[in-house]
């Protein structure tokens, strides 16, 4: 073929591609709903608050309804500058979340109100977390027959040593760090003094933050009044109204009539999903600066990220490292926000991710945004960032290590099982579950996790630009809230994704007023495409054994996580209902 013919084919191909793009853009524009004057944005908050959409059919099935935090924040930011949007209604159903995510959404709502537009919230019934979010609105409305279960915070720590003793199971677990109590729930029957001290301190800080935020409601007046109200909870709908916790008792039809009255007698509504499409339609042509938002969610393990029903999301070191590497090498990405929501996990996997963060130093601005939890391994992977931003209620720190095994000899004997162990090499059966560690082996284990702890402390010291001794003094497995972490130097600023993006823009010399495009990493495959790939890999879905392991959450990847020897893992969680 001649060069001329080849050139013509290339030009024709480009022309056809442009036609396809133009056709799709036009089709999208035609389908995107129009926004009328005085339109009210409707934001349903329900299901589970998560950082990024489900990445597989299995996750979508088991998680059911979800609310993506960044989607809500982005919609609120955009709508606050949109002259056609007059206000927002929050339709709040029961949802699952930690304090920090709710605190971040509350901040987004409060920032939206500063634009002079109204925010109304509606609930049929409410627990602590639903009310905490709703309280950021101008008016809180509750169904007359509903109730308000405002009762405060609780942490419940179950200790399993008594159960193991009954079944002849002996936990051989060691930890580095006075407060590293993740192994205590397996080796003790009650809280150690250090465990109790750290838990009390954490709850005090979280509770103070909750009370202070609720006290911002005019009708609640001050923190002392809020504490007294919480101690008297829960409340019937009428009691909640009498105490100033809610503003009106309305059924849903009455609530929308209230919205109409607030909105000059008009009620054009648009959902968040439709609004996002409309905003895309109205966006000017051009290529704004891009900032990567890398979501690092779940327990940390080596290999690929995955989801299993009984395990939840698992953050794979390979997946996250590749995401950081791709963003670092992309010419269009001007900076990176690393969003962490993790209690930690594998020490090895955490170190692998840390290395990629470290390699980004000096190449592109890299700012960590901590969600509900960024503790232990979750803090480890944050240490190499230029800046760390956390919410006041983020659970962080927990710089410590645990490792060990279970001696199941007693259980095997009870079940009539005998194991013959034949070795070559003095320590070949170091981690066998058929006996406990010898004193010599225990020293080997302590030396191993001691080295991991020293490495953890040293890298944290490098990242925070302090001495190893200073990090050790606030480490030792101690858990802190974001508020406390500011004071001890583990965190740089209080805030969320929005504040992290602002920091990246400043570091990348992007004007504060200039819009940027946030590019999500790791790239999420469409669910249908992802499921098709899974079927190709397994040769179809008619695999009873594979389906059984999937149902139980005992996939091969989950088993890999359980085979890890050393963990940097958060010792407990605080429930916020």
Beta carbons within 10 angstroms of residue 176's beta carbon: 25
pLDDT of residue 124: 96
576 versus 503: the higher-pLDDT residue is 503
What 3-state class would DSSP assign to 142?
A: strand
What 3-state class would DSSP assign to 183?
A: coil
Nearest in space to 65 (alpha carbons), one of 82, 49, 80:
49
Lowest model confidence (mean pLDDT) among 39-53, 144-158, 268-282, 486-500: 268-282
48 versus 535: the higher-pLDDT residue is 48
Q: Could you say which DSSP state residue 244 is in?
A: T
pLDDT of residue 218: 76
pLDDT of residue 4: 60
Distance CA 390, CA 481 (A): 9
User: pLDDT band at 471, cuts 50/70/90?
Assistant: very high
**Cβ–Cβ under 8 Å, residues 121 and 134:** yes
Percent of the chain with pLDDT over 90: 70
Structure tokens at 145: 């027959």
State the pTM of this model.
0.86
pLDDT tens-place string over residues 21-53 = 555 544 444 455 678 888 999 999 999 999 988
Burial (CB count <10 Å: 0-12, 13-18, 19+), residue 242? exposed
Q: What are phi and psi of 263, to 5 degrees?
A: -110, 40
Nearest in space to 77 (alpha carbons), one of 523, 388, 497:
497
Task: Please name each of the domains of the chain with its CATH number.
Answer: 39-151+233-282 (3.90.226.10), 290-405+450-569 (3.90.226.10)
Any residues with CB less than 8 A from the CB of 112 and at least 6 apart, and which? 76, 77, 79, 80, 88, 119
* Average confidence (pLDDT) over 411-435: 93
pLDDT tens-place string over residues 75-134 = 999 999 999 999 999 999 999 999 999 999 999 999 999 999 999 999 999 999 999 999
Q: Where are the alpha helices (DSSP H) in 32-98?
A: 57-63, 69-80
Structure tokens at 134: 């709703």
Judged by phi (left if over 0) then psi (alpha if -120 to 50, else beta), residue 553 lies in left
Distance CA 308, CA 306 (A): 7
User: pLDDT band at 180, cuts 50/70/90?
Assistant: confident
Taking CA atoms, 364 is separated from 295, 301, 339, 492, in Å, by 17, 26, 16, 18
Percent of the chain with pLDDT over 70: 84
pLDDT above 70: residue 451: yes
pLDDT of residue 2: 61
Beta carbons within 10 angstroms of residue 3's beta carbon: 7
Distance CA 384, CA 226 (A): 39
pLDDT tens-place string over residues 209-245 = 999 999 998 788 799 999 999 999 899 999 999 999 9
Distance CA 241, CA 141 (A): 9
Q: Where are the alpha helices (DSSP H) in 114-183?
A: 128-134, 161-166
Q: Where are the alpha helices (DSSP H) in 193-346?
A: 193-214, 223-232, 237-242, 252-262, 272-282, 317-329
**C-alpha 415 chain-centroid distance:** 41
pLDDT of residue 19: 57
- The residues annotated with a catalytic role in the active site are 376
pLDDT tens-place string over residues 52-68 = 888 777 777 777 788 99
pLDDT of residue 36: 83
Q: What is the mean pLDDT of the chain?
A: 86
**C-alpha 127 chain-centroid distance:** 21
End-to-end Cα distance, the chain: 70
pLDDT tens-place string over residues 243-266 = 999 999 999 999 999 999 999 898
**C-alpha 486 chain-centroid distance:** 20
Burial (CB count <10 Å: 0-12, 13-18, 19+), residue 251? middle
Tokens 């329900």 belong to residue: 46
Sign of CA dihedral 217, 218, 223, 225: negative
What 3-state class would DSSP assign to 126?
A: strand
Lowest model confidence (mean pLDDT) among 217-226, 364-373, 419-428, 464-473: 217-226
């Amino acid at each position: 073929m001649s060069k001329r013919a080849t050139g013509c084919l290339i030009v024709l191909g480009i022309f056809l591609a442009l036609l396809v793009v133009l056709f799709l853009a036009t089709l999208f524009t035609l389908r995107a709903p129009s926004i009328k004057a005085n339109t009210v944005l409707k934001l349903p908050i329900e299901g589970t608050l998560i950082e990024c959409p489900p990445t597989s059919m299995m996750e979508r099935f088991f998680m059911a309804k979800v609310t993506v935090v960044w989607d809500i924040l982005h919609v609120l930011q955009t709508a606050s500058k949109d002259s056609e949007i007059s206000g927002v209604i929050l339709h709040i159903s029961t949802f699952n979340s930690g304090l920090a995510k709710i605190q971040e959404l509350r901040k987004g709502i409060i920032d939206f109100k500063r634009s002079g537009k109204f925010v109304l919230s509606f609930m049929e019934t409410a627990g602590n977390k639903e009310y905490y979010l709703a309280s950021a609105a101008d008016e809180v409305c509750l169904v007359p027959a509903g109730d308000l279960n405002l009762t405060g915070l609780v942490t419940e720590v179950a200790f399993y040593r008594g159960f193991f003793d009954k079944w002849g199971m002996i936990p051989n677990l060691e930890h580095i760090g006075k407060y590293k109590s993740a192994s205590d729930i397996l080796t003790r029957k009650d809280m150690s003094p250090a465990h109790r001290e750290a838990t009390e301190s954490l709850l005090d800080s979280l509770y103070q933050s909750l009370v202070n935020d609720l006290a911002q409601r005019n009708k609640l007046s001050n923190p002392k009044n809020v504490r007294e109200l919480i101690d008297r909870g829960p409340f019937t709908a009428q009691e909640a109204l009498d105490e100033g916790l809610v503003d009106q008792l309305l059924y849903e039809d009455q609530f929308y009539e209230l919205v109409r009255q607030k909105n000059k007698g008009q009620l054009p509504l648009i959902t968040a999903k439709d609004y996002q499409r409309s905003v895309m339609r109205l966006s000017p042509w051009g290529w704004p600066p891009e900032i990567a938002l890398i979501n690092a969610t779940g327990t940390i393990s080596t290999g690929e990220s995955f989801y299993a029903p009984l395990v939840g999301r698992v953050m794979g070191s390979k997946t996250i490292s590749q995401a950081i590497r791709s963003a670092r090498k992309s010419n269009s990405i001007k900076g990176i926000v690393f969003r962490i929501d993790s209690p930690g996990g594998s020490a090895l996997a955490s170190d692998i991710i840390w290395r990629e963060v470290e390699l980004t130093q000096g190449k592109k601005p890299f700012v960590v945004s901590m969600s509900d939890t960024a503790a232990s391994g979750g803090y480890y992977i944050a240490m190499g960032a230029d800046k760390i931003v956390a919410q006041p209620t983020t659970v962080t720190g927990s710089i410590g290590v645990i490792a060990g095994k279970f001696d199941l000899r007693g259980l095997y004997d009870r079940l009539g099982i005998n194991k013959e162990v034949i070795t070559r090499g003095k320590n070949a059966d170091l981690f066998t579950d058929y006996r406990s560690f010898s004193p010599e082996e225990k020293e080997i284990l302590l030396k191993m996790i001691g080295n991991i702890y020293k490495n953890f402390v040293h890298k944290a010291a490098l990242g925070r630009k302090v001495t190893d001794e200073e990090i050790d003094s606030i480490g030792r497995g101690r858990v802190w809230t974001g508020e406390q972490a500011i004071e001890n130097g583990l965190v740089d600023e209080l805030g969320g994704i929005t504040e992290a993006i602002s920091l990246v823009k400043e570091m990348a010399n992007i004007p504060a007023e200039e819009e940027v495009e946030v590019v999500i990493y790791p790239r999420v495959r469409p669910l249908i495409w992802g499921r098709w790939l899974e079927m190709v890999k397994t040769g179809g879905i008619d695999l009873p054994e594979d389906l059984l392991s999937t149902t139980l959450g005992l996939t091969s990847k989950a088993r890999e996580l359980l085979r890890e020897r050393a963990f940097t893992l958060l010792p407990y969680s605080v429930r916020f209902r």
